[in-house]
A and B are shown apart, each in its own frame.
Chain A
Amino acid sequence: AQSVTQLDSHVSVSEGTPVLLRCNYSSSYSPSLFWYVQHPNKGLQLLLKYTSAATLVKGINGFEAEFKKSETSFHLTKPSAHMSDAAEYFCVVSDRSGTYKYIFGTGTRLKVLA
């Protein structure tokens, strides 16, 4: 069965310092993995996706994530945080295991300190 775990519910960083949001997944088949960002009272915006091509995936706004099969991880990183990055981030897994569902993590709220 599929599952996804976001290891931190809250992360605080100072502006200009690196961001690391952690995501572990479980999937019986080759997974598709996504990161979404949600700003307050807005819908979710797709940041990046992994669909079995390159393991290092670059997304919008300077974010990237690395698919590590041996560690079943898909952590989201950014070299330098900006105030506008403050939002909630969701890791999502899907695969062809039969349920054909998207499984959402519980979210990580990122706070950026001036």
Chain B
Amino acid sequence: KAGVTQTPRYLIKTRGQQVTLSCSPISGHRSVSWYQQTPGQGLQFLFEYFSETQRNKGNFPGRFSGRQFSNSRSEMNVSTLELGDSALYLCASSLNGVPYEQYFGPGTRLTVT
């Protein structure tokens, strides 16, 4: 089976712009989670989608949003980018979410200038 894919892999944006990241989960997986990883804050949970519904949400401002499509592909959007949004954004797919294991994509490296 193909693994989790994320596009684009690298992105450079300017402060104030918005960005959309995409994640294609492993075939048959219904849960997709998003994480932000930075050197200072480590891995932080953004949200989880299951069968097109947001099931869990982390402590991030409303500028961070996401959605999941009927084919389980997911997108994450960040509006009004700030310098602090520079991070590695990781997507993970799981058969059904907790308590099953997650499989991670390679990540999207976002740099905000």
Contact = CB atoms under 8 A, between A and B. Distances in A.
B90 A41 contact: no
Interface residues of B, number: 23
Contact of A42 (B45, B92, B107): B107
Contact of A95 (B88, B99, B102, B106): B99
A100 B107 contact: no
B99 A51 contact: yes
B104 A100 contact: no
A43 B98 contact: no
Contacts, number: 54
Contacts of B48: 101
A95 B100 CA distance: 10
Interface string B67-85: 0000000000000000000
Contacts of A34: 101-102
A107 B104 contact: no
Interface residues of A, number: 23
Given A94-B99, A99-B56, 12 more contacts: A32-B100, A34-B101, A42-B107, A43-B90, A43-B104, A43-B105, A45-B104, A49-B101, A101-B48, A101-B98, A104-B45, A107-B43
28 contacts: A34-B102, A42-B106, A43-B4, A43-B90, A43-B104, A43-B106, A44-B90, A44-B92, A44-B104, A45-B104, A46-B101, A46-B102, A51-B99, A94-B99, A95-B98, A96-B98, A96-B99, A99-B56, A100-B97, A100-B98, A101-B45, A101-B48, A104-B42, A104-B43, A104-B45, A106-B42, A107-B42, A107-B43
